[in-house]
Structure 1
């Protein structure tokens, strides 16, 4: 099971289900790590870990004659960091990706991965410092690559739930993601959720109804079925609440 985060107070209107990325904002809805980078380590976990560690140790003992050596180290630390991230080892993830930075790979994905690790650790430990570092790294990722929509999405969720003055920026970020990619379903779920929490229930209902229409056009899969179920549940709840006014 992928790592999950929770809000302190239970909120019933769901965002989405399936494999997505970011801070988790609901009891059992969001996975922190994108399934596209998830690997099956079953049976080879220890060997994988040891092989990467040995490669790093060997490379760090060598004299650096050119940038290629540093690049190889950054690559190995990136693999190791991804492994730790998927294993929910936040401290080790942070150490690994800081070494990725140290050896010259200041990419959007490096900052994004650091944001995920700091964000998860921050929620688990109730650490404002880690939440601040998560925000910093998400912003760095989006500065390096304004089209890194997952980093922008993660930043939006963090701002909405952990920054009293962040709701307007969060909604702006979510809308920007949707304009650039309407198939970013987590952002569209979040758009409905945010509007619902801001008291815009009619708008949230319209958002979910339009989303459901698009989900129904997706190829049938476990993920599309999950999306459909969550979206239908949200629509039913909002319609029920509106009918009681």
Structure 2
């Protein structure tokens, strides 16, 4: 009866600060003095720090080299590490069930400090869900957007008249007497005499008269050299 009464008195269902003999995981560690409290606080800090360290290692897939070479060994290693992490979490939950305010403060402080160092080691990842608002364009900008041509303007390319196919066709037609001068080949013969078409044999005087304005145009009959002398001789 006395032992059961003392055990009931040792259990508290509310937060307390006194040294009431609460056990900390093991029967040999109980908070009945300042030394017992410090020993319990040290055990609590060790359990919390080890749990945070193994959790960090498990999340970053830390494993020995010989484990990484085998898929089965890697799975066994990670399963064992997970079991140890869960056991450590249950351990500091049991410590928290002692309802001792001092041990609870040590537990929370140790977890917070370890998490702080874990965050320092973890590289910062950009949040993909963050977005920045895009300002809406003004009415003038929208109007200018609709007025913008769909295709880009092509650069202006200068083509020499003598290099143009149309100019060459017009020059050929003019030489053959099929068309008049056009704006592309107007004066081509005077500006570029070295590229003019050659005269036909026997049409030199007629072409010369047409250029000087004395003649009415080139005759279609060929000019025979020495024809007048023969005719004069015959008449004589």
TM-score (norm 2): 0.21
Q: Select the structure of larger CA radius of gyration.
A: 2
Larger RCO (alpha carbons 8 Å, 6+ apart): 1
Q: Normalised by the size of structure 1, how large is the TM-score?
A: 0.20
Which protein is richer in helix relative to its size?
Answer: 1
